Every structure is written in C-alpha cells, then in structure tokens.
Amino acid sequence: MSKIKPEDLDSIGEKIKRTMLLREGSCRVKIIVHMGTCGIAAGARNVMKALTEEIEKADAKDVQLTISSCAGLCSNEPMVTIEQKDQPAVKYVDLNDEKAREIFSRHVMGGKIMSEYALAAGSERTL
Amino acid sequence: MPHITNVMICTCTNCISNSALDIRDSLESEIKRRELEDDVLVVPTGASGLCVNGPILIVQPEGIFYQHLKTKDIPNLVEEHFLKGRPVKSLMYVPPGQDSPIPELRSIPFFKDQRLIALRNRGLIDPDSIDEYIARDGYKALAKVVTSMKPEAVIKEISDSGLRGRGGAGFPTGRKWESRRKDPRTPKYVVCNADEGDPGAFMDRSIIEADPHSVIEGMAIGAYAVGASSGYVYLRMEYPLAVKRMQLSIEKAREYGLLGEDILGLGFDFDLQIFKGAGAFVCGETTALVASIEGKIPEPRQRPPRTTLWEKPVVINNVETWANVPVIVNWGAKWFSQIGTETSKGTKVFSLAGNINNAGLVEVPMGITLREIVYNIGGGIPKGKQFKAVQTGGPSGGFIPASLLDLRVDYEQLDAAGSMMGSGGMVVMDENTCMVEMARYFVDFTNDESCGKCTSCREGSLALLQILQRICRGEGREGDVELLEELAEAIKDASQCGLGQSLSNPVLSSLKHFREEYEEHVKNKRCPAGVCKALITFDIDKEKCTGCRLCAKKCPQDAITGEAKEPHVIDQEKCIKCGVCVDVCKFEAVSIT
Ligand SMILES: Cc1cc2nc3c(=O)[nH]c(=O)nc-3n(C[C@H](O)[C@H](O)[C@H](O)COP(=O)(O)O)c2cc1C
C-alpha cells in the first residue's frame, strides 16, 4: 500500500463498506467472533477454531470469518455475530465450540436462526 | 417540541409498489384520530435493505421493525404500539424459519440506554484492519483538520465541546491543549495514558483492543493542534493483546502515510510509539509517567511547574479522551455538548463489575442515574440479593450507598457524594459485602502501590491498613474509628500526588455512609455482612438439615460430622470458615452468625 491522500479515504471506505455490508461480492454470510481479552478468556479461540473447521469441511466459499472486539457484555462471552445480506445482524451468546458448530450448520448453512442461543438482532446505538 | 417517536416508512420503488403510500396515509390518519400528532412523526425514507419484506416500518428510537404490512393492520398497530406502548409481535420482523421473533438488540435493557461514541466501532470492525476503520469515517477528522482547520480552531472546537479528561480528574481538554500550544519550547509531545491501574477497571484496555485507530487518530489531531511531532502510548505490559493491536495499527497507519512524515501529503509530521509500562499504579500519575518514559524512577514530582517530558511541553490525555476527539471534530462541538449534563458533556465508558448480572463494558451519556446503570443496564444483583453500594473511582474513589442510587453520574455529583468519576471502574456490591473489609482491600492496594516518596502516604497508608486489619480481626479498640478519620485527613493534606491525596477516600466514604458497620466490628465484635472470618461462626440448623452429607463430603477440613439422614454438626475447632458448606447446601441449612 502506498501512502494515501485525503481523497483516498473515501474510495478505501467505499470498497470496504461493500464487503462489510455484504451488498456485493461473493460473500453471503459474515461471521464475527468477538475476540477481546474477555472473549478469549471465556473460550473464543475454541469457537474460532470450530468455525474455521466447519467452514473448511463444508467448503463454504461464500462465508467470511472475521474477528472483532468485545461486544460489551463480557459476562456472556464467547459471543458471535452473524451478518447476512438484507437482514439485521444476530448476536449469539455464551457459546462453546459445540454450540458454534450447531449455529454454523443450522443458521449459516441452513438459514434458520437459533433462538435458543441468540441474544438479539440488530445493532447498538452509535453516535 | 420534538416528537417522541419517529416512524420511518420505506418509500422505495419496491415498497411503493407494495402499497407503502396507502400505509403511510392510513398511519397518518390513525395518528391524527388518536391525537398523537405531537408524539409520533411519520418519516418517509429510502430503501431500508429489507424491502423484499415490504412495506416496512422502523419505529425509532426503539428500532422495532415491522414488515409485510397491510392497511388493515394499521389501526391496531397505532393503538397498541403508539398509544399503549406495546409493540405488536405478530407484525414484527421474523427471522427466516423462525416461529417467534428474537428481540431487537436495542430493546434489550443492557444495550438500550447505552450510547457509543468512544466505543463507536466496538464489535463492528476488525481492529486489525485499518480499512474497516476508514470505512467507518476513520481518519476523516484528521484529514479535515490538516486540510482545512487552523490549530487554534481545532482547540476551540475541543474547548467548546466541553470535553473533559476521562482519566480521573476531569480537566478540560481544550484548556490543557491551549496552554501547551502557547508554550514556546519545542519539540512538543503528546502522550496517551493507557496505564489503567485501578482494580476492576478495563475500559481503556477494551477501547484499544476494539479500536486502536480511534486513539491514534485522536492523538494525531491533538499533535496537530498543539504543534507536537511525536508521541507515546504509555501502555501497560499486562495488556498483551492491546499492545499487539496498538503496535500493528501504528505500523499500518505509517504504511498508509497517516503517521510519519508528510501525513496525507499535507506536510504535517507526526509519529507515535508505544512505551510499555511495567504495571506500577503510580505510573498513571502524569509526573510519574513522564519520569518513567525519561528512564527515571517513577516518583511523582511537585507541581507546578507544569509537567514536562525532557523539559519540553507535553499533553497527556487518557485513552478514552483521545478516542472522543475524532468524533468531536467530525460532528462538531455543538452536537457533542448537547449530550450530558451542564458541567459534564458527552458519554462515559464504565467497566461494570462485581455483584452484577450483566458484567461488562458500558458507554452511557453523562447524567444517567446510578440506578439506571445498576438495574436497567446491569440487570440488578445476582440471586435477588440486596444492593449495598457501588464503588466508583477505584482506590481513589469511594462507596455510594443505596440511598444515593438516583444520583446523576457526572464529575461534580460523584465528588459531592464522597466518591469520584475516576477512570470509570464501577464495582457493585451486594448485602454480603463488608465495607470495613472493602476499605481494607483498597488501602492494602494503595499501601502496596505507594511509591514511598512521601512519608504521609508510605507510612500513613500502612498505619491505616494496620488499624483496618485489626478491626477485621475483631481486635478493634475503642477510639479506632476516630483515629482512622484523623489519620485519613492528615494523609490527604500531607501527600504530594493524587495517590496519597485520595487513598483515604475509600476509608472516609465508607465511614461516612456505613459508620455503624465499623462500630459493630469494634464494639460488639460482629461483622454484620458475615465476611470477617474472626468474627463469624458457621452453624447447621438442625431443623433444615436433611443429612444429605454433601457438606461433610466437600468440607476441606473434615470438620463436619453426622450420620446420613441425621442433622450434621460443625466442629468449630477445625472449621476454617471457608464457606464451602454454605455454597453447597441445597437446603439453606448453614447459617453464618
Ligand atoms: C495514582 C494515580 C494513578 C492514575 N492512573 C491513571 C491511569 O491509569 N490512566 C489515566 O488516564 N489517568 C490516570 N491518572 C490521572 C492522570 O494523572 C491524568 O490526570 C490523566 O491521565 C490526564 O488525562 P485526561 O485529562 O485525559 O484524563 C492517575 C492519577 C493518579 C494520581
């Protein structure tokens, strides 16, 4: 990456927004594992590992696995957010590797939200 | 008067072809019929993204999502939701393949009252991706100030916003920058204080782990405003993930030309490095912090003269303070200053811990009450126990009792209650917490962390600790409470830095609000909360005990005996008062007296 100019901020932003919002591109679902210190301490690495394995096993090329930070509710980590095209994001709480695998097969691949493990849908109020 | 509720109706081509305009008309006439025009405003919007489920309504501020609407649904919807405040479940968004809708995130109490400014990107972006930060308006504020604002104008914006330091003392940030700008000496420095030493506090760690670029951008803006060309992030070594993410982000920003020479090609030079702190609490104090960076013994110095780094001007701000800066530049001082109270603007991040159902990190507007934080956001006290106190401000702060739960959180109100905002640690305590023991805990901490320079702090904290220890051991003497008070005041008066000046606060505030608990320990040798081991005994209630033998099996001392199905007894000689029997008993047969 070469050094950027002020006007480059918008184009970088646009490019990334497209993949972040899943409007375009090959990605159908984005899985975010919340990996703050709290999440990691509660077992987020196992969740991450399980999801990586499942994606490989299913050869799911349209699923993007990424990380983010603590989602705020540290007492209910590990947490995972699942974003799908044209749908509010779903947050899952108190996960372990088994639950993560279940969510992968039923929600990510099967399109069925698992209300047993889900906390809520949507996003927080920012600014 | 602004409307309480906004109803956003999607009027994209798709929804219009699904009769969105009829729905709009029907909504408006129903709202009028119910005389709700002053409360509810109907706002036509562009495509909401879910238009395959159209026509769609989004009700703000709750963020409730209605879909597949028909005109015949509207009268009922208006009556139930807008008049009676009961959202209509049957019309709400139902995730695919689902029988009942899962709640909207913003309707969940934990998230509902939060407002994210410093934590605007938490959970949304990959902290290691500078591109994702940029996509959420990252570095736009830096570009804005360097291309179009004079340093004085930046400082004025920050001053007008009312931003005050989030690291504890609440000093006005703009005023601090102004004084460093005027200092003729060069080079100048900016420093981010990420030493975060308060027990129970994890705000600054979380901000850096979640969004390191927000801090970097804030610091670059500050550097531009005061005329600094280099800076340090003073980050404690015990935060390895934060260190790693910050390091990576600094490198990325350099690669993009957002740090280093000729930033954004606009001729502004600023670079940043991490200085790893070794975890001494006192290093968070500004003069000790600079001494630490200079490679000297981190002992606080007398102020004035103003704190310098290598005898040059330095701006030291807290992590959260820096993270607020880009938002203020982007959104303006006026916007920011509308949030909060008269004297305290914006939001504050708190780490909510202790005896609370939803432990975690919360960002709330200043002026919210403690009750709202503890009960709405925190979800109250586990196991239905009574709230006893909330501790804010860490070892420099104090305890706030139940009678002050309606206190509005701002710098002045917390000070007036004998506590302080501090950096944002908030530890909730239930009825089984002994306040004498808590005061002892904090004094133990500060005694350990005192740098030892001032006798009043070094020896005074030890003397306080010894008195508190003997009260907890049941050896409190007549006059100890008065002695604590006198000593606490003397330490306050005679110490040089904030550590010594405030270490008495946990003692003084617990005395102020829970004096009778001290008296019980000293006079009657009782610990009302059932915590201080020397003052309590464990007994098994013969009526309640079923003889299940569980406690006898779990007791690490084999102090519990009894036949199966017969009441058990505790051998007081052997009992070490660990409390395991209380925890395992399913019949509440073990009592503490
Ligand atoms: C003993 C002691 C420890 C402190 N620890 C911290 C700390 O960990 N982080 C912090 O930002 N400020 C800490 N402070 C406050 C700083 O001295 C200083 O006020 C603050 O960093 C200024 O930044 P602000 O104006 O943005 O709050 C501490 C103060 C004292 C007396």
Chain B residues with CB under 8 Å of A3 CB are: 256-257, 262, 264-265
B168-172 mean pLDDT: 93
**The pTM is what?**
0.84
Between B134 and B1, residue with greater pLDDT: B134
- What is the distance between the alpha carbons of residues B13 and B367, in angstroms, rounded to a whole number? 43
Pocket of ligand 1 contains residue B498 by CB under 6 Å: yes
Does pLDDT of A23 surpass 60? no
Going by alpha carbons, the residue nearest to atom 1 of ligand 1 is B499
pLDDT of residue A25: 57
In a mutational test of the B interface, the residue from A67, A70, A109, A114 whose CB has the highest number of chain B CBs within 10 Å is A70
A46-57 mean pLDDT: 95
Residue A85 lies in a domain: yes
Tokens of B332: 């303006």
Judge whether B464 and B487 are in contact, CB under 8 Å. yes
Does pLDDT of A36 surpass 60? yes
Tell me how close the Cα of B574 comes to any Cα of chain A, in angstroms: 36
* Chain B residue with the nearest C-alpha to that of A124: B106
Residue A9 lies in a domain: no
> Which range (B103-112, B256-265, B364-373) has the least confidence?
B103-112
Does pLDDT of A18 surpass 80? no
CATH class assigned to B537-592? alpha beta
Domain CATH for A87: 3.40.30.10
Residue A17 lies in a domain: no
Does pLDDT of B48 surpass 60? no
Task: State which residues form the domain around A37.
Answer: 27-126
Task: Look over chain B and give the mean of its residue pLDDT values, rounded to a whole number.
Answer: 92
Cβ pair B110:A68 closer than 8 A: no
Residue A4 lies in a domain: no
Cβ pair A115:B102 closer than 8 A: yes
Strand locations in B265-311 (E): 268-277, 308-309
Judge whether B288 and B299 are in contact, CB under 8 Å. yes
Nearest to B423, CA basis, from B484, B363, B348: B348
CA distances from B514 to B405, B508, B567, B580 (A): 15, 10, 37, 28
User: What CATH number belongs to B130-337?
Assistant: 3.40.50.11540
Instruction: Count structural domains, chain A.
Output: 1
Q: pLDDT band at residue B43, thresholds of 50, 70 and 90?
A: confident
pLDDT of residue B65: 79
- What is the distance between the alpha carbons of residues B120 and A98, in angstroms, rounded to a whole number? 31
Pocket of ligand 1 contains residue B197 by CB under 6 Å: yes
Q: pLDDT band at residue B82, thresholds of 50, 70 and 90?
A: confident
Domain positions in chain B = 5-107, 130-337, 347-430, 435-523, 537-592
CATH class assigned to B347-430? alpha beta
Fold (topology level) of B5-107: Glutaredoxin (3.40.30)
Residue A14 lies in a domain: no
Pocket of ligand 1 contains residue B78 by CB under 6 Å: no
Judge whether B439 and B488 are in contact, CB under 8 Å. no
Residues B435-523, CATH architecture: Up-down Bundle (1.20)
Residue A22 lies in a domain: no
Please give the distance, rounded to the nearest whole angstrom, from the Cα atom of residue B456 to the centre of ligand 1.
21
Residue A10 lies in a domain: no
pLDDT of residue B42: 87
Between A61 and B215, residue with greater pLDDT: B215
Residue A61 lies in a domain: yes
- What is the distance between the alpha carbons of residues B434 and B131, in angstroms, rounded to a whole number? 50
